[in-house]
């Protein structure tokens, strides 16, 4: 029997790609979708913060836009900014620092010209300094990444950012310094988003095509010798092959019969949690701006999005839908003081309208931390699991910084692995 744990996008895609092959898909929550679920609160639709679909792979494009959900998505150009030193600059900062104070523009430009890209950087800090130079590092990359990752940047590796943090060409840097806006840089220059219903329409489309899905089934242990998953209800299921999309640290910590080191490996893996403050507000906010990054420590949040500025159906007429993202190293904090500070800063930034909905959500496992421990532990743990017929995959199963399109592709790979011993993960 093929057993899949977790009905987020990766688990759902695995089930979908298994087609008629027999499997059992189990999900802890009452609804499938994982991080791609949306919630409706008094006419506002909130995602688990902004979930924008970036499609590069031809197969996924065809599957989603033509076969599964034709006419459901609209395509949008990115209109994102950075707020620093009291002003807005178009995103990405490294190619658009015109408008910043003159000494900042000079430091960024000179730093970039003096930078010498390093093929083998020892840390994120070394990589960022060598790739972008001291100015861009000091004014944006350092404060922003320290705020998001909550660890010193010399402890982070750089292997998560090759696709997500683009290096401008010399022409782009000069254009960006003198005020020609570089709009099309990076993986997220354009995106797809459902015309209504929030991002949950995507996992829901996969879920409709699954022939076995049991929600409300929280796996509490996996006995890797007996090949047995135990659920919180006491129910058990045997597997021949197991696909797990649970956070890797949870899987290792709750596995029985594996190497002794699994528990210590689990304890070493670091994650960042997020407090998402969703707001439904009267009136329009920030014109057409879709989201803004806040590198400075004075602001408790690292990003604010105005979802209704990319999809107006996410808010009632005449209202705005905002998500405010705060990075946490402990998901068990009292959110109230943080929410209060966020609201004060939002008022200071010009939010005038009456707040109609205030909804907080904590995502306990939001970003996995790419430190040296991860680099050493994750490949070993994944290989040891595979030797025991367990494929741990997806954003948290493989303990990686990834995105929805990749979750769909990894689900397809996982399905191949389930049915083909000589498949991609043999
Ligand atoms: C703040 C934030 C913003 C993001 N924005 C974007 C974006 O704009 N664009 C983009 O492409 N990607 C974005 N992502 C990434 C995207 O959410 C993920 O790549 C994708 O949802 C991962 O799917 P998954 O199935 O691997 O994991 P998950 O969605 O986490 O699914 C795992 C599932 O396992 C279930 N589960 C957990 N424990 C158990 C258990 N013990 N027993 C049974 N079930 C269990 C969970 O309930 C969940 O349903 C963002 C992520 C975050 C955190």
- Can you tell me the mean pLDDT for 185-205? 93
The phi-psi region of residue 115 (left if phi > 0; otherwise alpha if psi is between -120 and 50; otherwise beta) is beta
Residues 138-167 pLDDT 10s: 999 999 999 999 999 999 999 888 777 788
**pLDDT in the model for residue 21:** 96
CA angle 160, 300, 102 (to 5 degrees): 80
Cα–Cα distance measured from residue 231 to residue 36, given in angstroms and rounded to the nearest whole number: 23
Residue matched to tokens 């899987």: 251
**Which residues does ligand 1 sit against, CB inside 6 Å?**
5-11, 26-29, 34-36, 49-54, 218-219, 245-246, 274, 363, 366, 394-396, 402-404, 407
Of all protein residues, the one whose alpha carbon is nearest to atom 10 of ligand 1 is: 403
**pLDDT in the model for residue 408:** 98
Cα 3 to averaged position of ligand 1 atoms, centre (Å): 18
- Can you tell me the mean pLDDT for 292-309? 97
Give how far Cα 406 sits from Cα of 10, 339, 400, 425, Å. 8, 32, 11, 16
Strands 190-194 and 73-77: antiparallel
Residue 76 tokens read as: 């949008």
Residues 211-247 pLDDT 10s: 999 999 999 999 999 999 999 999 999 999 999 999 9
Residue 231 tokens read as: 């659920």
Cα 402 to averaged position of ligand 1 atoms, centre (Å): 10
Atom of ligand 1 minimally distant from the CA of 394: 26
Q: Is the pLDDT of residue 202 over 60?
A: yes
Q: In the structure, what pLDDT confidence band is assigned to residue 276 with cuts at 50, 70 and 90?
A: very high
Of all protein residues, the one whose alpha carbon is nearest to atom 8 of ligand 1 is: 51
Atom of ligand 1 minimally distant from the CA of 218: 42
Q: Is the pLDDT of residue 256 over 90?
A: yes
Q: Which of 3, 4, 6, 32 to mutate to test the pocket of ligand 1 (most atoms within 8 A of CB)?
A: 6
Q: Is the pLDDT of residue 73 over 90?
A: yes
Cα 245 to averaged position of ligand 1 atoms, centre (Å): 9
Specify whether the CB–CB gap between 3 and 24 falls below 8 A. yes
- What is the residue-wise DSSP string for 296-356? STTSS-SEEEEGGGT-GGGS-TTEEEEEEEEEES-TTS-HHHHHHHHHHHHHHTT--SPEE
Of all protein residues, the one whose alpha carbon is nearest to atom 7 of ligand 1 is: 51
Q: Is the pLDDT of residue 4 over 60?
A: yes
**pLDDT in the model for residue 187:** 73
Cα 230 to averaged position of ligand 1 atoms, centre (Å): 22
Q: Give CATH for domain 2-37+200-268+372-419.
A: 3.50.50.60
Of all protein residues, the one whose alpha carbon is nearest to atom 20 of ligand 1 is: 404
Q: Which of 245, 325, 398 to mutate to test the pocket of ligand 1 (most atoms within 8 A of CB)?
A: 245
Give 274's strand partners. 327, 363
Give how far Cα 388 sits from Cα of 2, 379, 380, 385, Å. 14, 15, 13, 5
Cα 27 to averaged position of ligand 1 atoms, centre (Å): 12
Specify whether the CB–CB gap between 314 and 195 falls below 8 A. no
Cα 41 to averaged position of ligand 1 atoms, centre (Å): 21
Cα 147 to averaged position of ligand 1 atoms, centre (Å): 21
Atom of ligand 1 minimally distant from the CA of 367: 53
Cα 106 to averaged position of ligand 1 atoms, centre (Å): 41
Of all protein residues, the one whose alpha carbon is nearest to atom 14 of ligand 1 is: 403
Q: Identify the top-confidence range among 57-61, 156-160, 283-287, 416-420.
A: 57-61
Q: Which residues contact 278 (CB under 8 A, 6 or more apart)?
A: 41, 44, 46, 321, 322, 323, 324, 357, 358, 359, 360, 361
Of all protein residues, the one whose alpha carbon is nearest to atom 27 of ligand 1 is: 8
In percent, the amount of the chain with pLDDT more than 90 equals 87
Residue 82 tokens read as: 């950075």
Residues 316-372 pLDDT 10s: 999 999 999 999 999 999 999 999 999 999 999 999 999 999 999 999 999 999 999
Cα 131 to averaged position of ligand 1 atoms, centre (Å): 30
pTM of the model: 0.95
Strands 271-282 and 390-392: unpaired
**pLDDT in the model for residue 421:** 65
Cα 170 to averaged position of ligand 1 atoms, centre (Å): 37
């Amino acid at each position: 029997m093929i057993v899949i744990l977790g009905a987020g996008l990766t688990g759902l895609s695995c089930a979908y790609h298994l087609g008629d092959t027999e499997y059992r898909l189990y999900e802890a929550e009452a609804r499938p979708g994982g991080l791609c679920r949306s919630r409706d609160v008094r006419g506002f639709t909130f995602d688990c913060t902004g979930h924008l679909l970036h499609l590069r792979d031809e197969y996924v494009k065809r599957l989603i836009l033509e076969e599964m959900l034709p006419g459901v998505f609209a395509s949008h150009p990115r209109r994102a900014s950075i707020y620093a030193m009291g002003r807005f600059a178009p995103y990405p900062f490294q190619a658009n620092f015109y408008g910043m104070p003159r000494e900042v523009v000079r430091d960024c430009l000179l730093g970039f010209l003096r930078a010498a890209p390093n093929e083998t950087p020892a840390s994120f800090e070394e990589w960022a300094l060598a790739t972008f130079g001291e100015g861009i590092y000091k004014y944006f990359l350092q404060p922003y990444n320290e705020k998001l990752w909550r660890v010193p940047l010399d402890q982070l590796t750089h292997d998560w950012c090759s696709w997500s943090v683009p290096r401008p060409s010399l022409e782009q840097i000069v254009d960006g310094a003198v005020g020609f806006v570089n709009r099309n840089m990076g993986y997220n220059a354009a995106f797809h988003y459902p015309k209504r219903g929030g991002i949950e329409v995507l996992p829901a489309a996969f879920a409709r095509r699954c022939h076995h899905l049991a929600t409300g089934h929280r796996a509490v242990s996996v006995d890797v010798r007996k090949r047995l998953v135990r659920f919180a209800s006491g129910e058990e299921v045997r597997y021949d092959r197991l696909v797990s999309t649970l956070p890797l640290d949870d899987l290792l910590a709750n596995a029985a019969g594996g190497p002794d080191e699994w528990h210590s490996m689990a304890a070493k893996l670091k994650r960042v949690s997020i407090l998402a403050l969703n707001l439904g507000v009267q009136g329009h906010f920030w014109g057409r701006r879709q989201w803004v990054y806040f590198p400075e420590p004075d602001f408790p949040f690292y990003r604010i999005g105005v979802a209704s500025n990319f999809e107006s159906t996410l808010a009632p007429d005449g209202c705005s839908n905002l998500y405010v993202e705060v990075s946490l190293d402990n998901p068990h904090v009292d959110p109230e003081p943080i929410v209060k500070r966020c609201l004060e800063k939002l008022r200071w930034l010009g939010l005038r309208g009456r707040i109609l909905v205030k909804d907080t959500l904590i995502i306990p496992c939001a970003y996995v931390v790419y430190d040296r421990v991860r680099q050493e532990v994750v490949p070993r743990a994944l290989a040891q699991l595979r030797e025991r017929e367990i494929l741990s995959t997806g954003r948290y199963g493989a303990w990686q910084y990834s995105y929805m399109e990749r979750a769909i592709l990894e689900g397809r790979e996982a399905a191949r692995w389930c049915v083909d011993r000589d498949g991609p993960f043999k």
